[in-house]
Structure 1
Amino acid sequence: MADWDDSPTVLIFGDSDAGIAAARRSAANAGARVAAAMPIAAAIDRLNIQVTTDLVVVDVSTDHGDMLDRLLDRLDAEAEMGNHASVVTVTPALIDIAAARIRQPGVALLATPDATERALAVAEMLGRPRLGLHDIKSDGGQARLQKLSEEVGRIARTLARLSDEVQPAPAMRERASPPPLPPADAAAMTEASDASTIRAMIRARRLRDQYFGNELFADPAWDMLLDLTASRIEQRPVAVSSLCIASAVPATTALRWIKQLTDTGLFKRIADPLDGRRVFIELTDRAAQGMRGYLTAAARLGTVVV
């Protein structure tokens, strides 16, 4: 029999039996104890009386309007205060609504995750990397979990390197700007700044996927950087859900990259002035400068960027 004395506690809120059951399994895989599993409508009241919990897991398949907004705001505030972490699972239709309310690193946002992605997110938020792999081995989950764990590590290592070069805060750690590139001729600058050229690069990347599959060359960070660069030139806002599509990877992986690239200082969130339940993602000025410099230099060399 499992010993729950030092097991982390999890509260589960969902709007479907299937979602609650999936959340229960992910908690069990992480060695956690489920303190309660309740409907979304009961979430705020339960959080008001809950003395303490290690993690809140929410599974939402439909838009509950103001009720959902208040719950997500509450989870984000709890994470900011360090009270507990949360894992929020939504359908693709709810990505923009959830992304607009969630800012804190202590809240993981997933979109239609599989069992292994759920288990990994719960384990990460609980700080318990060792999962009950026997519970997900039947559907090939162990190999999938290992792949996801390696992906998390790759993201962390990549962004750790970028943070020293890109992130402006804190001010005392800001590095001097790199030396400017030699002046480029007008034709090269125009080509580098042409949104249609960048869109052609993106199409070429998707064409490559048709012949080799999208896993071999998956590079969501670069795909999103290209899309946001073109959109910046076009002066077209990009919603979180649209950027997930542009990344050419599963939505949960894309959301992880978006969050960490934002934390690193390459992306920034911009509130939609017409819709308080949506945010847009843009390149920071420093990231835009880096992309412009790279594309200009590549154009000057006659290099085809893919």
Structure 2
Amino acid sequence: MADWDDSPTVLIFGDSDAGIAAATRSATHAGARVAAALPIAAAIDRLNIQVSTDLVVVDVTADHGDALDRLLDRLDAEAEMGHHASVVTVAPALIDLAAARIKQPGVALLATPQPAERALAVAEMLARPRTVLHDVKSDGGQARLQKLSEEVGRIARTLARLSDEVQPTGVRERASPPPIPAEDGATIEPADAPAIRAMIRARRLRDQFFGNELFADPAWDMLLDLTASRIEQRPVAVSSLCIASAVPATTALRWIRQLTDAGLFKRIADPLDGRRVFIELTDRAAQGMRGYLTAAARLGTVVV
């Protein structure tokens, strides 16, 4: 007699016993059935023979070269075609490599996550294609995701409004924008890179006295860093932007994805390294930041 189980199916690939065990716990906690747990080298062959799966969970701590590249490319392509979702957990040193190959929203990228963060990502991805059959209970996590999405939307609308106030739609900003006339006819220089870097240092100074959780604002920290880098004409890798956000890497990666989806950030391929991408402000986001910083300067306000 066959025992039919409608639980979602998960494939797990990893390069450490600890990583595979953590991925297995997250999958089973979400009510999934682990079909196989294999090393990275066996991943492509297993995917080739797997009839179907709901989710692939990968945990890697080292660079496996071409084998890892091919696996990440495969997972991104599978997500694009709607075949299955994936959760990829990497060591901090692999953030740029993974970010360069993962573009689809159906692949969640984590970096040394806490157990709750991994569990949330697995539950979220399992819920995507099977929302009717499987009611994944993660109310707290879903509330955080909803709050994140709403906050990104608010930031995007605000920057868009400020952008329209600075100059007409369709006019592209240069790296070194000209000064803007104030209402009284005086000239106000937009904040330069050293001034913005000073703002960032002042923000980190708060952390020394109050801790980094009370004033955590990764979106603003990343916007400031990318604004200064745009003026300096300096490329910013994903890993560097995660550091600039002053929050754990997994949280920063979520924000980067949300801000990219909202049209504030854009991905730029590194012409010298196919395993890395840079993150830049879109022109509209840059205009909004310029508008805000100039308005603050006009008021004589210290921006922190």
| TM-score in terms of structure 2 length | 0.87
Deviation, 1:129, is: 3.6
Where do residues 78-93 of structure 1 align in structure 2 (5 Å cutoff)? 78-93=78-93
Tell me how far apart the structure 2 counterparts of residues 21 and 222 of structure 1 sit (CA, whole Å).
36
Residue identity matched to 1:64: H
Alignment partner, residue 24 of structure 1: 24
Q: Deviations over 1:210-269 (max 9, x none)?
A: 111111111000000000000000111000000000000000000000011111100000
Alignment partner, residue 171 of structure 2: none
Contact 1:10/1:35 (8 A) holds in 2: yes
Tell me how far apart the structure 1 counterparts of residues 280 and 153 of structure 2 sit (CA, whole Å).
21
Q: Percent identity?
A: 80
Tell me how far apart the structure 2 counterparts of residues 28 and 236 of structure 1 sit (CA, whole Å).
44
Greater helix fraction, Structure 1 or Structure 2: 1
Contact 1:53/1:84 (8 A) holds in 2: yes
Contact 1:59/1:89 (8 A) holds in 2: yes
Contact 2:166/2:287 (8 A) holds in 1: no
Deviation, 1:160, is: 3.7
Matched, 1:248 2:246: yes
Contact 2:181/2:188 (8 A) holds in 1: no
Tell me how far apart the structure 2 counterparts of residues 161 and 10 of structure 1 sit (CA, whole Å).
36
Give the number of aligned pairs. Answer: 281
Contact 1:193/1:233 (8 A) holds in 2: no
Alignment partner, residue 226 of structure 1: 224
Alignment partner, residue 36 of structure 2: 36
Deviation, 1:188, is: 2.4
Matched, 1:296 2:294: yes
Tell me how far apart the structure 1 counterparts of residues 208 and 90 of structure 2 sit (CA, whole Å).
29
Contact 1:166/1:265 (8 A) holds in 2: no
Structure 1 unaligned blocks of 5 or more = 132-144, 168-174
Q: 3-state DSSP class of the match of 1:236?
A: coil
Alignment partner, residue 58 of structure 2: 58
**Among 252, 255, 258, the residue aligned to 1:257:** 255
Deviation, 1:154, is: 1.4
Contact 1:166/1:264 (8 A) holds in 2: no
For the structure 1 residues 229 and 122, does the alpha-carbon distance in structure 2 shift closer, same or farther, using more than 3 Å as the test? same
Residue identity matched to 1:248: A
Q: Deviations over 1:41-92 (max 9, x none)?
A: 0100111111110000000000001110010000000000000000000000
Tell me how far apart the structure 2 counterparts of residues 27 and 213 of structure 1 sit (CA, whole Å).
33
Deviation, 1:149, is: 4.4
Deviation, 1:164, is: 6.1
Tell me how far apart the structure 2 counterparts of residues 40 and 82 of structure 1 sit (CA, whole Å).
22
Tell me how far apart the structure 2 counterparts of residues 116 and 129 of structure 1 sit (CA, whole Å).
14
Q: 3-state DSSP class of the match of 2:188?
A: helix
Tell me how far apart the structure 1 counterparts of residues 136 and 101 of structure 2 sit (CA, whole Å).
27
Tell me how far apart the structure 2 counterparts of residues 215 and 85 of structure 1 sit (CA, whole Å).
31
**Among 174, 184, 193, the residue aligned to 1:195:** 193
Q: 3-state DSSP class of the match of 1:87?
A: strand
Q: Deviations over 1:164-192 (max 9, x none)?
A: 6779xxxxxxx9x7344773367522xx3
For the structure 1 residues 53 and 166, does the alpha-carbon distance in structure 2 shift closer, same or farther, using more than 3 Å as the test? farther
Tell me how far apart the structure 2 counterparts of residues 119 and 44 of structure 1 sit (CA, whole Å).
24
Tell me how far apart the structure 2 counterparts of residues 58 and 179 of structure 1 sit (CA, whole Å).
45
Contact 2:159/2:289 (8 A) holds in 1: no
Contact 2:11/2:57 (8 A) holds in 1: yes
